[in-house]
Amino acid sequence: MNKTLRVFLLIIVDIILVNIALYGALLIRFDGDIPVQSIPSFYNLSPIFTLILILCFYFFGLYKRLWQYASIGELLSVVGAVTVGTAVNVSLTYFIIEGGSLPLPRSVFLLSWLLCIFLIGGSRLTWRLIRDYGLKFQNGDEKGKTVLIVGAGDTGVLVAKELRRHYGNGIKIVGFVDDDPDKQKLKVLNLPVLGNRDNLPKLINKFSVEEVIIAIPSLDGSEIREIVSLCHETEAKVKILPGMYDILEEKVTVNHIREVQVEDLLGREPVKVDLEGISGYLKNKVVLVTGAGGSIGSELCRQILKFLPAKLLLLDNCENNVYDIEMELRNTDPEVELIPLVKDIKDKKAIEDIFCHYKPCVVYHAAAHKHVPLMEANPEEAIKNNVMGTYNVAQASDKYGAQKFVLISTDKAVNPTSIMGASKRLAEIIIQYLDKTSKTNFVAVRFGNVLASRGSVVPLFKKQIAEGGPVTVTHPEMVRYFMTIPEAVELVIQAGVLAKGGEIFVLDMGEPVKILDLAKNLIKLSGFKPGKDIEIVFTGIRPGEKLYEELLTAEEGTTATTHKRIFVAKPNGLDSALIEELIQNINSHKFPTNMQETEELIRKFIPQFRASDKENISKEEHLELKYNQQRKK
């Protein structure tokens, strides 16, 4: 309906109701027999009463509201408008029109006030009642999709209302499930609370539920996993609402309801960052991101753009990656100057030219070789890219006066068993060494596996599931720490705020997750049953892999930062002579050329690197033994 026409009709209805209220007050006051002398007073006062009340309704915004969503707030507006209008009418009548005497009994004004609130408020609630409760009777249509809502709290109620509004008789809500014993066998919106989460399989089968919606934003990952597991014993699909911080009260819509994702199963709340502090050190600054086209680098660029840097330098050795992220960002915020740079961090002169020309203030170093098995096959390339490349960028940051340098590191750098992990540990050692003499604040950030990043297990599992299986898992006991790409990036950016120089920042990532459990959950979330629809095959630990990962060495320990979820490792003692020798070799391009030379270089800095290979047990047995010992501790 046209807005002007809607307002016009509302005013007409209000004029009629205001007069009905005044006349009804006279009838009630005189028990249905209105005295003849009161009739002229009614006709004389009715126009002015109506005009004043309509004006009050307008100024109280009663004609600017969508009354199909009326609630307590709208009713209070009606009460306020009627009260003010009635008070003005009584004042005009008593002090101006009649010269100090009321033409009608005082009780008539009080009664008309009550009737007006009832009639005006009732008219406004009519659409709400029709929408909420009129559709409720249609909801009994057996042809509608059957839905069960987990959570009978405020969010669950909002979800039920929104489903009724949006789908009408296309949805049949059978009821709620809630663990609160005080809610059992009660009704919410005339829908029963049917039991607790343990009853889910039985209720789904009993009512032929097609879809279960999890509507408890405060649930942690382990509880979500439990509910998902119970539902996947049946044929019902599972959907979920976002977390508490993503939902504004009274703003839940059907668009918020989505499929359960693997990120929901992490078992902890996402990390939140200090946006105000971040804005201070990025706004109007020249920022360089190496590896800008990768999973972490590209998300870094997206997040950095929000803080309006003066220039954002996008450096990557793959031209397609640079092109893709540049085009995406130009469509996001064309005001920020974007500089695409197709360069290799191993090219020292190219890196120095960039720093000399643009003089970046903040550097995020995300460029690296990260695939463990590939680096086992190409060990010298891991040293060149991850060690020499890091030194080139770090040395240029020092030479040209960058304020902050943040290295993206990995939990695989802790007690490394792989060439990739060891190369990242050497990169950490180099920046900690440079920090001792540089005005630049050099820091590193360690985190675990990043969900949905290129080469991670989640995209691989999804691809295998889409192909019908099997899903390949290396070892039934393998565990990893996981975080989302946005979490990883927010940690990196926050580290720049906290950086004083030389630190290694670590995220509290909760409990590690079994890769096998992750595979099973992904299969379930895809609508299949593990071992029945999609097989899981164990392929054995690959070269360089651990059964478990660590975030800190025993010597590093941790200290808290001002961010409750981020910790800082204590710097270890650095062997300056060894590091200077390594830097000299980098500058003279003396690098290992095979696995033996690579391992010899690494053992100079990490003496225990692959010491287990000298024993008469296999690497897999050694790792499994170490993992079991760790679990006992």
Spatial separation of the C-alpha atoms in residues 272 and 269, rounded to whole Å: 9
Q: Token pair for residue 206?
A: 């009993």
Spatial separation of the C-alpha atoms in residues 262 and 451, rounded to whole Å: 8
Q: Compute the radius of gyration of the chain from its Cα atoms.
A: 34
Nearest to 346 by CA among 306, 391, 399: 391
For residues 534 and 237, the answer to whether their CB atoms sit within 8 Å is: no
For residues 309 and 284, the answer to whether their CB atoms sit within 8 Å is: yes
For residues 506 and 568, the answer to whether their CB atoms sit within 8 Å is: yes
Nearest to 215 by CA among 233, 227, 201: 227
Spatial separation of the C-alpha atoms in residues 149 and 93, rounded to whole Å: 56
Helix, strand or coil, per DSSP, at residue 73: helix
Q: How does DSSP assign 195-246, residue by residue?
A: --GGGHHHHHHHTT--EEEE--TT--HHHHHHHHHHHTTSS-EEEE---GGG
Q: What angle do CA 287, 292, 298 make, to 5 degrees?
A: 100
For residues 521 and 451, the answer to whether their CB atoms sit within 8 Å is: no
Residue with tokens 């590690």: 512
Which are the catalytic amino acids? 412
